[in-house]
Each structure stands twice: as C-alpha cells, then as structure tokens.
Amino acid sequence: MTPSSAPPAPQAVSSPVTRNAFFIVATVNDDAASRASVRAWCADVANLTRAIGKRVPSGNLTCVVGFGSQAWDVLFGAPRPAELHPFREFGTGERVAVATPGDLLLHIRADQTDLCFELATQLMTRLEGAVTTVDEVHGFRNFDMRAIIGFVDGTENPVGDEAVHFTVIGDADPDFAGGSYVLVQKYLHDMKGWNALSVEAQEHIIGRTKLQDIELDDAVKPDWSHSSLTTLEDADGDEIKILRDNMPFGRPGHGEFGTWFIGYARSPQPIEQMLENMFVGLPPGNYDRLLDFSRAVTGGLFFVPSEPLLEALAVRDPHAAQTVAVASALDTANARAKHDTLASAGSLAIGSLKGAPRYE
C-alpha cells in the first residue's frame, strides 16, 4: 500500500451510539475442523449483518468481530498484527485488571434488542461446535447515556474524523491498515457502597458533575479522579483519545450491577497506559478510586481486521499464508457481489454459506 492510499474500510468500529449491545467472548475449540469453521465463518459476518439489518433499516444494526493473540496464530498464522499480544494484567491484591480466556469477540450493536438477538443467534448457530462461549452480556443504554453508577458515560469520546484518526490503523502496519485494537473488561459494582457516598464524593471520583456532566475545575478535580487518570497526552501535549462504547448491564434480582467496558484504538498502548494509571496509579499508589467500588472480572485484547480483511481471512491458509492475499479479498468481494445479486433477485443464498468449502 502506498502511504497516500486510503486504508481499507474498517468494520463498524465508530458506528453511532445505540440503545442495545450484545457482547460475546468465545474460545475456539482445539481441533482443525473447528478452526476451519471459524475461518469460513469470517465470510458470513458482513452478509448476515446486512441481511438482518435490512429488515429494520432504522435499527442501526452493526457487528464488530475481533480475534485474540493466540487465536490469530492458530487460525491465520503469519503475518500477524504488529501490536497484538495477550491481555496484560495491571495491579495487585484487591485491585487487578485480570486477563481471562477469549479468542473471539463479537460486539453487536442496534437500537432494538431483537436485532441484536437475531444476529447473535445466526452468527453463533454457524459457530456451533467450533467455539465455546465464555462470556455473554446483553447491555442496555441507561437513560441519557448514564453508566450504572449514575454518571453520563462517553462524553469525551472523539467523533467523526477524529474517531477514525484515533481508532483506525494506517501506514504504521500496512498489512493491517483499516484495522483496530479493542480492549474489553467486565466490571461488577458495589452499588451499596457507591450509593452510600455523597454526590460530591462521587463527583470527585469521576472528575465531572453528576447531573449536568460538566468537567470539574482543575482547582477541585483530584489528580486521582477517573477523568485525570484516563486523560493522556503525547510528547507535543496533544491529547491521545480512545473510543469507548461502555454498556450498563445487570440482574437486579441477583444484586448484579455492571459496566462492560469496551475501548477501541489504533494501538493497545494508550488503553494499557490508562489501565496502568487506574490500577497501579500515577504515581504508583495514586489509583482510581472508582476501583474501590468496581471489580474487573474479565479482560481481553483483540485485533479487529478491516472489513475486506475479515472476509479474506475466510480463505487464509495459516500454514501457507505469508502475505495477505489480495486475490482472496477480490474473490470474496466477487462472491459478495454475486450474493447481493441473488439477494435482490429474491434468493438470499445465505444457506449456501453454510456449505462453504472448509480449508483444512
């Protein structure tokens, strides 16, 4: 790729904020047939999302798929995304950003639960026998973007071109241009403890006012506030942002109240720096007091291939592939064109994807 050419289209990483999200983390079963099924499935994702999304165009259905470090090697081999590695743990004792198993991440978003549910069902049915789900959370948008702890969440997210700039890999890793990294953690909150705090104490912990969601003045905002510890600057003093789409979830009947943290960036580095600041502290010991009321119970890092690369991965031979086969991308693009023609002719041809050749 020449430095001036536009990167391949990203998956729907910076899609609009939606009312619902399903998060599914799965491990790939340890046999050749399972790995072949997961690879072949990569070509189904966009088609299924399109087909189901068309039924409710206003529902903003999207799906982002990511792969963990070890999974990448066994599924696709070399080349591999330059910065993909297993989730790095931060902190000690009571306050640890734990790493938990996960090879495959599905981040399904829509403005209706039924759209998320249908797409999750179709995608997981095609993965039956090939993967084992290790975590599944159905998140909901809580009033005016409130996290379950009552504060507006997502305010400082980059938007538009800025979101693309901070999330999409460019010339830094040409084989993986158009891709992103995504870091996820499931948090459970001690709501009794949190609600026992005064609003003022909560505002100091977050670094913003609760009702109006205004950033606290530097004179009163503690340097251990969540906002202070997650604000990063580069050497020139410019802010380095990530794109978050956290979702509240819970089971009130079980006393469970949580936040599914999901952060996209073009490198894992800034998200990991934020985790270090939160869990270890800046300087060490000056940690994020939100963690006195929030426990991370999962943690995973995934690479999100560009849309054309995801389709091309379906025909990747992990033993032979040394370069991303442009020809494969073209083949799948042609197959998609054929699929669209069939779809518009009234035959959706999705069933035929089930019978797609296996490559191992």
Q: Which residues bind ligand HEM (CB under 6 A)?
A: 147, 149, 151-156, 185, 187, 206, 208, 226-227, 230-231, 242, 244, 259, 261, 263, 271, 274-275, 290, 294
Complex with ligand HEM: residue 73 or 213, whichever CB lies closer: 213
Catalytic residue flag (residue 103): no
Which is catalytic among the residues 44, 103, 135, 153?
Answer: 153
Q: State the Cα–Cα distance between residues 242 and 14, nearest whole angstrom.
A: 11
Shortest distance in whole angstroms from residue 159 CB to ligand HEM = 12
Shortest distance in whole angstroms from residue 329 CB to ligand HEM = 33
Token pair 């041809």 in the structure block, residue: 349
Q: State the Cα–Cα distance between residues 126 and 304, nearest whole angstrom.
A: 20
Q: State the Cα–Cα distance between residues 315 and 269, nearest whole angstrom.
A: 30
Complex with ligand HEM: residue 72 or 261, whichever CB lies closer: 261
Complex with ligand HEM: residue 74 or 98, whichever CB lies closer: 98
Shortest distance in whole angstroms from residue 120 CB to ligand HEM = 23
Complex with ligand HEM: residue 17 or 343, whichever CB lies closer: 17
- The torsion region of residue 112 among left (phi > 0), alpha (psi -120 to 50) and beta comes to beta
Q: Which residues pair with 138 in a beta bridge?
A: 22
Shortest distance in whole angstroms from residue 25 CB to ligand HEM = 16
151: three-class secondary structure by DSSP: coil
Nearest residue to ligand HEM by CB is: 156
Shortest distance in whole angstroms from residue 357 CB to ligand HEM = 41
Torsion sign across C-alpha atoms 10, 120, 316, 357? negative
Complex with ligand HEM: residue 41 or 264, whichever CB lies closer: 264
Phi, psi values for residue 24, rounded to 5° = -125, 125
Which tokens in the block code for residue 201? Answer: 């104490």
Q: CA–CA distance from 267 to each of 7, 62, 84, 85, 327 (Å)?
A: 16, 22, 9, 11, 27
Contact call for residues 227 and 279 (beta carbons, < 8 A): no
Catalytic residues: 153
